Amino acid sequence: MAKHLLYNASVVLNSVDFSDHVETVEFTVTLNNAGSAATMGDIEDYSMAGTRKVSPITLTMFQDFAASEVYATLSALWTNRTSFNAVIKADAGATATTNPAFTISCFISSFPIVSGTRGDRHMSQVVLEPAAAMTIATS
């Protein structure tokens, strides 16, 4: 079984590459429980897999107030309640079957402007809420 070390993830928000500002990315897909599938005569309870659910995407980013960087780009999207595409890959290399690109239309549900204690690295934990179905590209 191949092993994978996450050190070069790609995070592109609204066509702006923020990979050089992202410290952590959490992107989870689950299945909703469609309820019991057991019928009369079954001696065990079991469930059926339901619809796919993309959980909110959490990014821990270095805050940056320079033009066209984190604050300038994300505050405009947040202020205007804009839905935009987030494209996330495990590696910044070419999209392939071994490096799929996950694209999700989303909006910013949480965007801390200033956060930290004196002497801390100035980080911002941005939460993106999915607004449409996810697509997966492999080429």
Q: In the chain, what percentage of residues exceed pLDDT 70?
A: 99
Mean pLDDT of 3-19: 94
Reply yes or no on whether the pLDDT at 131 is more than 80: yes
Element containing residue 71 per DSSP (H, E):
helix 70-79
Q: What is the pLDDT of residues 89-103, one digit of tens each?
A: 999 999 999 999 999
Contacts of 119 (CB under 8 A, 6+ apart): none
Which CATH topology does 10-137 take?
Pnp Oxidase; Chain A (2.30.110)
DSSP helix/strand/coil, 11 = strand
Alpha-carbon span 132 to 134, nearest angstrom: 7
CB 61 within 8 A of CB 92: no
Give residue 137's pLDDT: 97
Sketch the domain layout of the chain as residue ranges: 10-137
pLDDT band, residue 4 (cuts 50/70/90)? confident
Give residue 1's pLDDT: 60
CA distances from 129 to 54, 56, 81 (A): 9, 5, 11
Give residue 134's pLDDT: 95
Mean pLDDT of 124-137: 96
Q: What is the pLDDT of residues 68-92, one digit of tens each?
A: 899 999 999 999 999 999 999 999 9
Give residue 32's pLDDT: 85
Alpha-carbon span 63 to 126, nearest angstrom: 10
Alpha-carbon span 80 to 105, nearest angstrom: 15
> Count of residues for the chain?
139
Report residue 62 as tokens: 């270095």
Phi first, then psi: give them for residue 76, nearest 5 degrees: -65, -40
